[in-house]
A = this chain, B = another copy of it.
Amino acid sequence: MRRLKATISYDGTLFAGYQVQPGERTVQLEIENVLTKMHKSEKVKIIASGRTDARVHATGQVIHFDTSLSIPLDRYEKALNVQLPRDIRVLSVEEVEADFHARYSVSGKRYRYIWNCEAQQSPFRRNYTVETNGVKPDIEKMQAAAQYIVGTHDFSCFCAANTSVVDKVRTVQSLNFSWQGEELHMVIEGNGFLYNMVRIIAGTLWEVGIGKRDAQELEGIIASMERGKAGKTAPAHGLYLEKVFY
């Protein structure tokens, strides 16, 4: 038995999310189906760094699984890509120690959130960016608000209510905004993220960017530890899991 770590990318548009759910098309299910076929129907289970919700994308999700097959790694990658649907791609496969765990060994993650601020809507970016109907926010204000978030805090205010996690203290190492043409990108890195945390941060800082809130309000929002004080949860299809650090 070898333990393999695979870095994968997926277009979340047509998935009900990462994790297997009865009757739904999920990323985990598609990959496990291919691996099980490769292992002559011996069931193979994969573990990811974490789940992603329906319509959320990944450009650098990481999974691990154990395999009894002795195919070379580059052929393993090709064999997976040939059989996987085109909205999932395996970017790399490497052999890791038996104690590597895609979820428990994570030391941090990077996410990207993209708004498309073009005045004229395009039919081509609709599933990959959140369109703002031409509204262009003030990114200096968003960046000013971001400074209250960077650091180690109890992020209860940015955590969806339906979670079983008790300790909500996390460290955000960086949170930066930049324009790429008419698309606004938010890139956030941290040691761990609560359920919906990136999308609630995106939604709250968006409200700062369009002048609905002041940047300084963030201090009070975080201190309140109340989800209700923060802004709306930004839509799923603007979010990308970009990198998992180990």
Contact B11 A123 (CB under 8 A): yes
A20 interface residue per 8 A CB criterion: no
Stretch at the interface among A47-55, A86-94, A177-185, A199-207: A86-94
Compute how far the CA of A57 lies from the CA of B121 in the bound complex, rounded to whole angstroms.
15
Copies in the complex: 2
Q: Write out the residue numbers on chain B whose beta carbons fall within 8 Å of the beta carbon of A121.
A: 81, 89
| A10 contacts chain B at the CB level, 8 A cutoff | yes
Interface residues on A, range: 10 to 19
Which residues of the other chain, B, contact A57 by a CB distance below 8 angstroms? 124
Task: Please report the C-alpha to C-alpha distance between residue A10 and residue B128 in the assembled complex, in whole angstroms.
Answer: 15
Closest to A124 in B: B11
A128 / chain B contacts, CB cutoff of 8 Å: 124
In the assembled complex, the Cα of A57 lies from the Cα of B123 at a distance in Å of 10
Residue of B nearest to A10 (CB): B123
User: Does any Cβ of B come within 8 Å of A122's Cβ?
Assistant: yes
Q: How far is the CB of A180 from chain B (nearest CB, A)?
A: 13
Judged by a CB distance under 8 angstroms, whether A126 is at the interface is yes
Which residues from B are CB-within-8-Å of A10? 123
The answer to whether A9 has its CB under 8 Å from any CB of chain B is yes
A81 to B121, alpha carbons, bound, how many Å?
9
Indicate which residue in B89, B91, B120, B126 contacts A91 across the interface (CB closer than 8 Å): B120
The answer, among B9, B122, B126, for a CB contact under 8 Å with A122, is B9
- Cβ-closest 6 pairs across A and B: A11-B123, A86-B126, A87-B123, A89-B121, A89-B123, A9-B123
Q: List 6 A-B contacts (CB under 8 A).
A: A9-B122, A9-B123, A9-B124, A86-B126, A89-B120, A89-B122
